[in-house]
Amino acid sequence: AQTVTQSQPEMSVQEAETVTLSCTYDTSENNYYLFWYKQPPSRQMILVIRQEAYKQQNATENRFSVNFQKAAKSFSLKISDSQLGDTAMYFCAFMKHGGGATNKLIFGTGTLLAVQP
């Protein structure tokens, strides 16, 4: 069974600084997808970024980028130029490729990020 581990329950960063959130996962699959979701105080889950395991190039979405290390089963999220609106719980999630209709997302327990003014 796949598991996702986020070892940092809470983190803090100053506005305009850069912060990296860690995520590791365990799987015997070779092809899969990894995601970072953001859950602000409104509790709406928002997709931040996606990475396909077969792609070596790290995904980037504006100020958000990932460092995907397949051999190490590591998938960290870097937030550059942090903004107050980035304050949220961040969840790392795994999805097995070819999971048929399920396409089940397996979530980590989250990292609460606080951006300080």
Partner 1 sequence: SQTIHQWPATLVQPVGSPLSLECTVEGTSNPNLYWYRQAAGRGLQLLFYSVGIGQISSEVPQNLSASRPQDRQFILSSKKLLLSDSGFYLCAWGTGLPNYEQYFGPGTRLTVT
Residues of the shown chain interacting with partner 1 in the complex, contacts defined by CB under 8 A: 4, 33, 35, 37, 42-47, 50, 91, 93, 95, 97, 101-105, 107-110
Q: Using alpha carbons, select from 61, 67, 64 the residue that is nearest to residue 81.
A: 64
First to last CA, the chain: 41
Measured at the CA of 116, the angle between CA 115 and CA 117, to 5 degrees, comes to 120
Closest distance to partner 1 from the beta carbon of 43 (Å):
5
CB nearer to partner 1: pick between 60 and 103: 103
CB nearer to partner 1: pick between 3 and 18: 3
Are the CB atoms for 92 and 108 separated by under 8 Å?
A: yes
Closest distance to partner 1 from the beta carbon of 37 (Å):
8
CB nearer to partner 1: pick between 1 and 117: 1
Closest distance to partner 1 from the beta carbon of 16 (Å):
29
Closest distance to partner 1 from the beta carbon of 50 (Å):
6
How far are the Cα atoms of 7, 13, 32, 99 from residue 21, in angstroms, in the given order?
9, 11, 20, 27
